[in-house]
Amino acid sequence: MFSAGVRAILRLEWERFRHSLGWLGRSDRRFRAPTLEKNRRRSGLFVVLGLMFLVQSFLMTQMMIETYAERVLAHEEGVVGNLTFERVVESAPKWEGQSDEEVRKGIKSYLGFSEYERERMGLDKLEVDGVLAQFRENGIAGFRNYERLANGEITLRELEGGPRERFARLMGMIFIGLLLALLFMPMAIRQKNLAATSDHQEWLFTLPLRGGELLVGSFIASVLIRPLAYLFLWPLLTNLLIASGDGVLFSGCFALGVTLLVSVAVSGVEVFLDTWMRARAPRWILRNAQMVFSLFGLLSFYAILAACFAREGSFPWVDWLAVRVPGELGRPWGEVLISPLGVWVSAALVGAVILGFGGCFLAGKFMRSGWLSGNGLQTEERGVKEASLRGGSLLRFEALLLLRDRTLAVQVILVPLLIVGYQVLANPAMVQSVTAAGVCALAFAGGAYASLVTAPQLLRSEAKGGWMIYNLPVPVAAYFKRREGLWRMVATSLAAGVLVLMVGFSGIFQFAELWRYLAAILGVWVLGRVMSGVVMGRPKLPDAASGEAVTVSSGRMYAAMLMAGVFGAILWQGWVWPTVSALVIFWFLGEAIWQRREVSFSYLMEPVEEEPESWGVDDGLWAVMVFFVVQSLMVFFGVLGWAMSQGLVLLSFVGGGVAAWLFTRLLVRRKKIALPDFSDGVLGIAKRRVVMETALWTVLCVLVGVGWTCFLETGVFGEIGRGALEWNPLLLILLTVVAAPIFEELLFRGFMCRTMGAFWSRRGAIFGSALVFAVVHPAIAFVPVFLLGVGTAVLYLRSQSVVPGMVLHALYNLGIVGLTWYG
Amino acid sequence: MTFDSSVLCLENVSRSFGNFCAVDRLSFELGAGEIMGLLGPNGAGKTTTVRMLMGMMRQSSGELSLFGMDCFSERSEVQKRVGYLPDEPNFQNHLRGIELLEFVGKVRGLSPEVIEGHVEKVGGKLGLVEDLGEFAANYSKGMRKKLAFLMATLHEPDLLIMDEPTNGLDPVATRSFLEVVRTYVEKGTGVLYSTHLLDQAERICDRCVVMNRGKLVGEGTVDFLKKEAGVESLEEVFFALTGEGEVGDV
């Protein structure tokens, strides 16, 4: 069908696309060139993820269309919700002879059912009197169900008058937003460096291809490889057709055809823009192209999301736009979308022919005048900028990179500020009703987003100049750490800025929530270190000298997002002690991960050799995190299912312990950690000295624990301790004297203290593990638990066995439980 | 032949990638104020050797030291006295030549006056001064080489390690570049000069090390090597030592 040249370009573009999505074409570490074999294996995952996304899109767009259609239908008079409608039909015959008072009573009870639905749809509250008046005026014929579309009583094409116009406007606006996203997202994401001639293009030009082949190849690739079109436009159009009354299979195929036509039109515009910019565009456009595309793409995508999910009222601009701009611009598009099929086909065809082929024709013209002439970094005239010295520094160097790399600046600073700023300016009602929790969560989210975006930057901007760092008289790890600190400062400042902005505009500052404001900012600072460490991970530096882009594994990105999400949720809930605990654990984790990174830096320049399997302090901390995450999840889902019970607490504790223990086994096996097995060293207990010391520590810890409990007149176990008298004694003993010592000793001493001891000083390992141990317990018991942590850690390091610690831990817990019972 | 003031010393250095041995038990020394050519066909292990010397890569066995310090573990200390010119220097997209120089100077703790003086003196000789306001990403290969050389010599190093330094320079720039290198040598800087250009090596190098397939196949002054092989030019020495002369039969 196509010439060999076109086929080769299609293949090439497809491979590039696969590689651009980390999880598809992961390159083999041993070779710089990606190997085909690996790609094939990864494609399975790609298909599964793609299908999942497609199903999700189908459900989402279906929900969206129904909600919109029902909402516009509900604006008619006399329309009630499904349940109300059914009850009215059922009871209306009885109402005929009843007094207004009696009917009001009946209506009131029905309206209760539909209020939630109405609220979900963003509709006004139904007034009892209004419904009554409707009934008295028109009888049962005065009512209609607004879920007529979902019930199949009406199709989109049958919408008339006001509802039709309103629906058309909204659909038209979403459609236009989607077209913009379709065009600009790939141009912004594809790492097209329009500012400098890409090697890729130059290389293509050296091949014996005709210009036409090059153009056709790029055009077809651009039409076919447009994931957004298949993952969003196609489901949307299919659902529109189904809602218009067409069959499912027909709708799917027809919508696919139209999607392809739309893709042709969009690709034509893209190929034209691309070629025009390379050949003719003024410098300022070239220099800022990627930034502008990024801005358009992100904002239009955000607008679609907001339009799809926002309830009426919460995003006033959706309504504002729906009434004004799309009234002129969106309605014709929307009208086409809900009109008969012939109009669809003609519109798509006309668009495809004019935009697609017209764009290609113009691109061809520009190409003949020199595709490769664009070079946006160039100053107006060579050397015109005076070469003057102003005393550089690392800070200035980074600031320059941030300011000059405008795409990054837009993504890191401008878009979050625009989104928040828009809310502040356009939606004052929301800002004024915002709570401290909301402000903090928003500030943290902004900061965490910025650290996630900037973390790969640490390596990416280095890729070309990496060799320079190795020629500087500074340790490479220290250099990266310093840069990391600077980027983290940007993210933290952003969080602080959002906080000040929101608090300033809402005028709500709650002094009691001061800790939460601080925790939000501190959270970005502390978590930023963990995230940059996780994201950098074991970076694959393709070739430091060639200036190829660095890829960061997307799995690591997701892990970092998950961690930020967990911390954000804790902050949102306003749990003080868990927030403090999370900050301490994350701080340790950041330290530990960066300690490990120092090893990988030595191997950065040597991508052909794999970084040696290594383990570090962070492994112990990961185990502790698994313990608590599993525990919290079990409690969370358990409470959803059965309500909080003593059995559930015990179960979640044991579950968390088993999960963390299995996790450590996995780590030990996978990383080949040369550690003695947990059961080793048990014989150490036979040593008389250890027995002596265990006894001494037990006396000390129990005395302090008992003293502390008496002094504060509260249980050291917090809530559990306070309610200990109501607990089943057997369960309490099982939890505190059996399960807790076994699992906590294995984790905190057997793994965490051990890993800390191997990398840090003895004192660091003892106090570090005791601190983490203490912060994950109730705040009130900090002092005695910290002492217990120190005691067990000392015993562990002396005996190299967890058994003495288990005995001490069990006796201590028994003492406290006994005191609660008999004290 | 050992120098009392040896600045660079390799002893039985090997480096393998999996089963492939890129550098095999390599030993040589370089003294202060000496230019040594590192010669060898493509894939002989020259760049691997240079990378190990720069502490970018660790040797599999043997010892590498610069100024008596280990290249890998004491890298940052060693780099205070070393200048490095890679074969293909690349720079960040968004920085100008002068900004990169400022950055390197700042990290090395040099004052703006020193940097400015250096740019005027050396940059003037190489003819790069007027281009320093340009983004380094837009530099031609020769300009990038010149900028990297300015960086490498900013701190008056005691040892210069250069990988194909004149590759990409025009004849005029090559001549002034070699003159600049000579002034450094006269001041006592040792130079390790990895190259394919044998006539250039014959002209400026005091001694040469010839590598082939990771092994050292010849070492000594150019005259010594010529005498040993019984030939007239360094080019013939090269063919004799590396066994690449038979290409003519094809």
**pTM of the prediction?**
0.68
Cβ proximity of A308 and A64 under 8 Å: yes
**Cα–Cα separations (whole angstroms), residue A801 to A275, A352, A681, A691:** 69, 74, 5, 12
- Partners of residue A464 in chain B, C-beta under 8 Å: 90-93, 137
| pLDDT value for A382 | 43
Summarize pLDDT for A545-557 with one digit per residue, the tens.
444 555 566 677 7
The total number of residues shown for chain A amounts to 823
Percentage of residues in chain A having pLDDT higher than 90: 11
Percentage of residues in chain A having pLDDT higher than 70: 72
Q: How confident is the model at residue A255 (pLDDT cuts 50, 70, 90)?
A: very high
Is some CB atom of chain A closer than 8 A to the CB atom of B89?
Answer: yes
User: Would you put residue B89 in left (φ > 0), alpha (ψ -120 to 50) or beta?
Assistant: beta
In angstroms, rounded to a whole number, what is the distance separating the alpha carbons of residues A528 and A795?
A: 35
| pLDDT value for B37 | 92
**Cα–Cα separations (whole angstroms), residue B249 to B25, B234, B244, B246:** 32, 21, 11, 6
Contact residues, B window 122-141, toward A, CB-based 8 Å cutoff = 129-135, 137-138
- Residue in B with minimal Cα distance to A465: B91
Q: How confident is the model at residue A308 (pLDDT cuts 50, 70, 90)?
A: low
| pLDDT value for A431 | 62
Q: How confident is the model at residue A565 (pLDDT cuts 50, 70, 90)?
A: confident
| pLDDT value for A77 | 67
Q: Which of A389, A464, A471 sits opposite B54 (nearest CB)?
A: A471
Which of B19, B52, B56, B96 to mutate to test binding with chain A, by most A CBs within 10 Å of its CB?
B56
- Partners of residue A394 in chain B, C-beta under 8 Å: 103, 106-107
Side chain identity at residue A334, one-letter code: G
Q: Which domains does chain B have, with CATH numbers?
A: 6-249 (3.40.50.300)
- Residue in B with minimal Cα distance to A608: B17
| pLDDT value for A717 | 55
In angstroms, rounded to a whole number, what is the distance separating the alpha carbons of residues A4 and A209?
A: 10
Q: How confident is the model at residue A792 (pLDDT cuts 50, 70, 90)?
A: very high
In angstroms, rounded to a whole number, what is the distance separating the alpha carbons of residues A616 and A758?
A: 8
Cβ contact, residue pair A383, B133, below 8 Å: yes
The total number of residues shown for chain B amounts to 250
Listed in sequence order, the DSSP H helices in A537-575 are 554-573
Who has greater pLDDT, A387 or A295?
Answer: A295
Cβ contact, residue pair A379, B131, below 8 Å: no
Is some CB atom of chain A closer than 8 A to the CB atom of B108?
Answer: yes
* Cα within 13 Å of Cα(A58), Cβ side: 12
Contact residues, B window 42-71, toward A, CB-based 8 Å cutoff = 51, 54-58
Section A476-502 average pLDDT: 85
| pLDDT value for B100 | 83
Section A337-360 average pLDDT: 89
Summarize pLDDT for A162-210 with one digit per residue, the tens.
778 878 877 887 888 888 888 887 776 544 444 444 445 555 666 666 7
In angstroms, rounded to a whole number, what is the distance separating the alpha carbons of residues A177 and A180?
A: 5
Summarize pLDDT for A24-56 with one digit per residue, the tens.
434 433 333 333 334 444 556 667 777 888 898
| pLDDT value for A380 | 45
Listed in sequence order, the DSSP H helices in chain B are 46-53, 75-78, 97-107, 112-118, 124-126, 141-153, 171-186, 198-204, 222-229, 234-242
- The strand pair at B190-194 and B159-163 is best described as parallel
- The strand pair at B82-85 and B159-163 is best described as parallel
Cβ contact, residue pair B56, A379, below 8 Å: no
> Within chain B, which residues score under 70 in pLDDT?
1-5, 18, 93, 244-250
Who has greater pLDDT, B115 or A145?
Answer: B115
Section A311-326 average pLDDT: 54
Section A533-546 average pLDDT: 59
Summarize pLDDT for A58-77 with one digit per residue, the tens.
988 888 888 778 877 777 76
| pLDDT value for A525 | 95
| pLDDT value for B248 | 46
Which of A394, A401, A468, A474 to mutate to test binding with chain B, by most B CBs within 10 Å of its CB?
A468
In angstroms, rounded to a whole number, what is the distance separating the alpha carbons of residues B121 and B109?
A: 19
**Cβ-based neighbours of B53, under 8 Å, separated by 6 or more:** B8, B10, B64, B66, B71, B161, B192
Cβ contact, residue pair B105, A605, below 8 Å: no
Section A495-500 average pLDDT: 90
Who has greater pLDDT, B45 or A727?
Answer: B45
Who has greater pLDDT, A259 or B167?
Answer: A259
Side chain identity at residue A135, one-letter code: F
Section A212-221 average pLDDT: 80
